[in-house]
Amino acid sequence: MRGPHNILRLIRTGATLERTGAMGLIMDAMDAPPLVRGTLRFLAWPFQWLGYRGDPKQPPALRALSALGPAYIKFGQVLSTRPDLVGDDLATELRVLQDKLPPFPTSVAKDSISQALGRPVEELFDAFSEPVAAASIAQVHKARHRETGRDVAVKVLRPHIERAFRKDIDAFYFAARVIEFLSPASRRLRPTDVIAHFEGVVMGELDLRLEASSASEFAANTSDDPGFQLPEIEWHLSSRRVLTMGWADGVPLGDNVALDAAGHDRVALGERVLQLFLSHALRDGYFHADMHQGNLKVAANGDLIAYDFGIMGHIDEYTRRVYAEILYGFIKRDYRRVAEVHFEAGYVPADRDVDEFARALRAVGEPIFGMDATKISMGSLLTYLFEVTERFGMETRTELILLQRTMVVVEGVARSLNPEINIWKVARPVVENYIKQSIGPAALVRDLGKTMMVLSRYGPRLPMIVENALIQHSSPPPAPAPRNGRKTAALLIVGAALGGGICAAILALI
């Protein structure tokens, strides 16, 4: 399905933006250069008759993205959290895409639930409301469980949503391959890999059983986090297309007027959102990767409530340490160390100049410090970062795409609560605490202890494993003596490793 017929889909995208009047609005909001603005308008104008008309009652940008389908709605959701990029007016307009899209009929939702759970809705729930929220993939109904009397939220996938997403993703694959063919320089950004990553995330979001599992793991990780709540999953009322969880009572995080009326401290909330995200990403390596305002509420006691766990991010321990060292280096303004970490992790080719890279990073980081967020142009900052990465041959790290995107979204949420927030100042205590726990002497002892445990499991077999490896990767010995020498060396290596592990265990006990 990824053939040239997708050209029509891409043309229709531009045509829809032009026909609905969204093209000029988005270009103005993002302050696009005249050449880019003129080129896009010139290419789209002749084909605007191919564009979707959309709902004339909706504003232009909302009208265009809603008409284009769920993948474009996801894009709009990200933009809705970035008033610094698209302006306050457009960000407010796009916020509707988070949970206020047109719903599908309640009767269709009930049929889907009955089919998925094997029992009529009336037997499961005493009450079942009309849709209370509708997003790009699913909609939510409030219900009361017949057996327990608890209020619950019932999430139901939209009909035929899998096919709709597949159509958009196929077009994105085609566009990525065209870009790679026409612009060899773009291949370092690995656009096809980026789309593959997006595809994996979306396909996982379309199986609500995986979302329930993610919510359960996330709850276990964050059970001791102060000021943070998660609704409980009702496993017996969930399936691939239906997810039931406890009802979250609170004020939507995107409603500043309601937050102020309820007496909540928006400055503190903005800091908590950012610090919780960093804590989950660095401490646990498992974080909520869709933390826009539509998925967050504030409880009466001031606790932050998160829900909608369809997109979760995971990063391994080594990558977390690299990411933390990079953040910490920026916070400490130690650009030489930031550059060295990039080289050590293989993010920058080894043949590049580390000092030159450090100077380029200084040009990125220095404008941030001593300034409040309102004086920082994130658009200009991202543009310069792109130029730096291109100049030094850095490739897109697909394992960090979700982390970087979520950081952008979370920063946008925090800024919507407090426009004066300084992300570096807020992030510093979380990053410093992680550095102390994961990179200091205690972490070294802990890592040596883990190594000892692994070696102790395979200890009896290690001499043979090492000897066989040496034999396979070297030429046949001319005489027995060298082989015995290799065997002796292998035994010494194993003995030293085991000895180091034992020392680590002793140190851990002291």
Catalytically active residues, by annotation: 290
> Residues near 237 by Cβ (< 8 Å), separated by ≥ 6?
117, 124, 145, 152, 154, 244
- Give the separation between CA 157 and CA 137, rounded to whole angstroms: 6
> Residues near 270 by Cβ (< 8 Å), separated by ≥ 6?
413, 414, 415, 416, 417, 418, 421, 426
- Give the separation between CA 349 and CA 214, rounded to whole angstroms: 36
Closest listed residue to residue 360, CA positions, set 332, 343, 339: 339
Is 15 within 8 Å of 68 (Cβ atoms)? no
> Residues near 59 by Cβ (< 8 Å), separated by ≥ 6?
93
281 exposure class (CB count in 10 Å sphere: 0-12, 13-18, 19+): buried
- Give the separation between CA 395 and CA 404, rounded to whole angstroms: 14
Sign for the pseudo-dihedral over CA of 320, 326, 331, 336: positive
- Give the separation between CA 43 and CA 229, rounded to whole angstroms: 49
Is 330 within 8 Å of 344 (Cβ atoms)? no
Torsions phi, psi for 297 (to 5 deg)? -130, 165
Closest listed residue to residue 471, CA positions, set 456, 489, 451, 455: 489
Q: Do the bridges between strand 228-229 and strand 304-306 make them parallel or antiparallel, or are there none, so unpaired?
A: parallel
> Residues near 460 by Cβ (< 8 Å), separated by ≥ 6?
none
Token duo for residue 453:
């445990």
Residue type, 481: A
- Give the separation between CA 436 and CA 131, rounded to whole angstroms: 47
183 exposure class (CB count in 10 Å sphere: 0-12, 13-18, 19+): exposed
Residue 459 has a CB neighbour count (10 Å cut-off) of 14
From residue 428, alpha-carbon distances to 370, 372, 390, 423 in Å are 14, 15, 28, 9
Is 426 within 8 Å of 274 (Cβ atoms)? yes
